[in-house]
């Protein structure tokens, strides 16, 4: 295993310290905890808290800042944070207007975030929650009951965060988050697996001419292994499954996220994005906004995912609202 780390047991701690050192204007760390919150606090608005296992960087700490998250909780690599950690994040992020928890649909995350919400409620903090389940590859998995939450979570952070920043109350911010969840779908693939530092070996093996279609973000293999084709062919397979959901039709407008899994060159992501644009144009689907890059990764996995979000005027306004975070800046 080749990893640019010091000690396996210290990777999350040192990563968080490095983020704070790089972006002190955005984030601060709660002492003794794997929690990042806004450096300037979040008074007078609904707070958004998200998180999950580490290894998905820049998610989730990279999205703490104006227009997106108020707190991010980092578990061990690909491991849910504990309820106590999430509870401390809720308390620290709470600005007096309530807290919305944005949870990816993985069994450990859902259970631990819900326990933390109960703990916060006992302290008199108003907490609501939403669960993102945008992955069309599988209906259930060893990690989930129901669909997995993957890169579509970034759109929930962005649009619900914009609503909170604009002064929406907790019920309104939750409504926007649920509207995004209802209209967002994703699917991913891998050319090569990731290596979890503690495991020391790839999470699955692929021959030089093989790819995995339908991978998750925790190093789990996909639903289909096949010979590698062109990026256009691969993108078609992902798009076909997404479009088969029946919620994206001619005349609709969508936001597109072509998300790198951590080890894919930007050149290749841009080539995939070109084909996504061509296919959607051919189907009469308009593109309101495009985002390309590494946003919800799986360590050093080579591959990408495609996410579509159907938008109307309300969602477009929030999509285009300003944001200022370490990993997402929009003026």
From 56, 60, 157, 275, active-site residue = 56
Per-residue tokens: 223: 């639903």
**Second-level CATH architecture of 12-182:** 3-Layer(aba) Sandwich (3.40)
Average pLDDT score, the chain: 96
Which of 137, 51, 63, 145 lies closest to 90, judged by CA?
Answer: 51
**Residue 157 annotated among the catalytic residues of the structure:** no
Per-residue tokens: 2: 């080749």
Residue 3 pLDDT greater than 70, yes or no: yes
Per-residue pLDDT tens for 135-151?
A: 999 887 766 779 999 99
pLDDT of residue 142: 67
Q: Does domain 183-330 have CATH number 3.40.50.1000?
A: no
Per-residue pLDDT tens for 205-244?
A: 999 999 999 999 998 888 999 999 999 999 999 999 999 9
**Residue 275 annotated among the catalytic residues of the structure:** no
From 60, 218, 275, 277, active-site residue = 218
Residue 61 pLDDT greater than 90, yes or no: yes
**Is 278 within 8 Å of 312 (Cβ atoms)?**
no
Domain boundaries, the chain: 12-182, 183-330
Which of 256, 187, 198 lies closest to 222, judged by CA?
Answer: 187
In whole angstroms, give the CA distance from residue 251 to residue 243. Answer: 14
């Amino acid at each position: 295993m080749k990893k640019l780390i010091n000690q396996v047991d210290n990777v999350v701690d040192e990563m968080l310290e490095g983020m704070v050192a790089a972006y002190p204007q955005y984030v601060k760390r709660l002492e003794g905890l794997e929690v990042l919150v806004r450096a300037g606090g979040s008074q007078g608005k609904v707070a958004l808290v998200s998180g999950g296992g580490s290894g998905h960087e820049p998610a989730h700490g990279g999205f703490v800042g104006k227009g997106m998250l108020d707190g991010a909780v980092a578990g061990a690599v690909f491991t849910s944070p504990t309820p106590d950690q999430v509870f401390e994040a809720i308390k620290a992020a709470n600005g007096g207007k309530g807290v919305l928890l944005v949870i990816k649909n993985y069994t450990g995350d859902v259970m631990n975030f819900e326990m933390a919400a109960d703990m916060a409620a006992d302290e008199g903090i108003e907490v609501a929650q939403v669960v993102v389940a945008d992955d069309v590859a599988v209906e259930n998995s060893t990690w989930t009951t129901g669909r997995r939450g993957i890169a579509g979570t970034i759109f929930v952070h962005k649009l619900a965060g914009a609503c909170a920043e604009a002064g929406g109350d907790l019920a309104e911010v939750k409504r926007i988050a649920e509207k995004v969840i209802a209209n967002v779908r994703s699917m991913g693939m891998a050319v090569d697996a990731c290596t979890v530092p503690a495991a020391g070996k790839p999470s699955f093996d692929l021959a030089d001419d093989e790819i995995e279609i339908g991978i998750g973000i925790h190093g789990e293999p996909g639903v289909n292994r096949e010979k590698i084709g062109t990026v256009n062919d691969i993108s078609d397979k992902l798009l076909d499954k997404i479009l088969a959901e029946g919620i994206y039709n001619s005349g609709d407008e969508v936001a597109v996220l072509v998300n790198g899994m951590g080890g894919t060159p930007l050149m290749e992501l841009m080539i995939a994005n070109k084909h996504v644009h061509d296919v959607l144009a051919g189907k009469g689907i308009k593109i309101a906004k495009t985002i390309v890059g590494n946003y919800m990764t799986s360590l050093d996995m080579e591959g990408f995912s495609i996410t579509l979000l159907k938008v109307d005027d309300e969602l477009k306004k929030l999509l285009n609202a300003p944001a200022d975070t370490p990993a997402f800046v929009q003026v």
